[in-house]
Amino acid sequence: MEKRVRELKVDYGPAENIYWVEVLKGLWITNRHFMVNMWRHILHALRIKAEKGAVTFQYPEEHRPIHHRWRGRHRLTVKQNGAMRCTACMMCETICPDECIHIVPGESPDPNVEKFPEEFYVDALRCCFCGLCAEACPLDAIRLDVIEPEICGFTRDIIFNKEFLMGLNNDRPWEEWYIENKTDSKEK
């Protein structure tokens, strides 16, 4: 395609120079927004179904619909028998650009599995949630799919250990977060 150039020029005519005309036009736009949103809020208050008034979400009570591709907190997946899927191959620790994953490999108690992580720490203070660990994992053992908007909301103790990442000693197991907050975009 050839290069097309457009010269931009805005000259003010008499109407713009009067200044009030444009101010009133602007006020018309803002007031229209206000009235439309107000009307919708009134309908909501009267429990009549209407479009959402404002685009904001009343955060702690109401959550934004989050796409299922969202990269959230880490989770270690488990097999059907409840054992860890991770075999301590160290791929995630190698690719992590922030060096936030620390694994201590050991011999697995299960005779069918050779290796498993005795310790598995994720330092969420260093983590930048790039998702490279999940991409590098050859076993689908680590995922970043727990929607937890307040990872460090009330505590600074966010170096996650193995049990926490597997959802064993978590007050709120990941399934709860998953079901509550994860909205598939198709449902919207």
Partner 1 sequence: MAKEYENRELILPTKNMALAMGPSHPAMHGIVRVNAKLDGEIVVEGSVDIGYLHRGFEKSVENHTWNQGIIYTDRLNYVSAMMNNVGYCLAVEKLLDIELPPRGTFLRVIMSELSRVADHLTCVAAQVMETGAMTAFLYAMKAREYVWEIVEMACGARVTTNWTRVGGLMADVPGDFVDAVRERIPLVRDVIDELDKLVTKNRIFGDRYRDVGVMTKDEAIAWGFTGPCIRASGIPFDVRRDTPYLNYDAFDFEIPVGTNGDVFDRYLVRMFEMEQSILIVEQALAKLPDGPVSVDNKMVTLPEKADVYGSIEGLINQFKLIMDGHGIQVPPGEIYQAVEAANGELGFYIISTGGDTPYKCRCRPPSFALTAALEKMITGQMIADVIPIFGSVNMIGGELDR
Q: Considering all CA atoms of the chain, what is the largest pairwise distance in Å, rounded to the nearest integer?
A: 88
DSSP alpha helix (H) spans, 53-146: 91-95, 132-136
Binding-site string for partner 1 from residue 121 to residue 150, where x marks contact by CB under 8 A and - marks none: -------xxxxx--xx-xxx---x------
The reply on whether position 172 binds partner 1 by CB under 8 A is: no
Q: Which one among 86, 88, 91, 142 touches partner 1, defined by CB under 8 A?
A: 91
Q: For residues 17-46, which are near partner 1 according to CB under 8 A?
A: 17, 19, 22-23, 25-26, 29-30, 33
Q: Does residue 185 touch partner 1 according to CB under 8 A? A: yes
Bridge-based pairing state of the strands 142-146 and 115-123 = unpaired
Residue count, binding to partner 1 (CB under 8 A): 45
> SS3 of 165, please?
helix
With respect to partner 1, which residue has the nearer C-beta, 34 or 39? 34
Strand pairing class (115-123; 159-160): antiparallel
Minimum separation from the CB atom of position 15 to partner 1 (A): 8
Query: Does residue 3 bind partner 1 (CB under 8 A)?
Result: yes
Q: Which residues are within 8 A (CB) of 124 and not within 5 positions of it... i.e. 6 or more apart? A: 73, 74, 100, 151, 152, 158, 159, 160
Residues, the chain: 188
CA separation for the pair 141, 75 (Å, rounded): 8
Smallest separation (angstroms) from partner 1 to the CB of 2: 9
Among 67, 79, 126, 172, binds partner 1 (CB under 8 A): 67
**CA pair distance 77, 124, nearest whole angstrom:** 18
Q: Which residues bind partner 1 (CB under 8 A)?
A: 1, 3-10, 12, 16-17, 19, 22-23, 25-26, 29-30, 33, 55, 66-71, 89, 91, 94-95, 97, 128-132, 135-136, 138-140, 144, 185-186
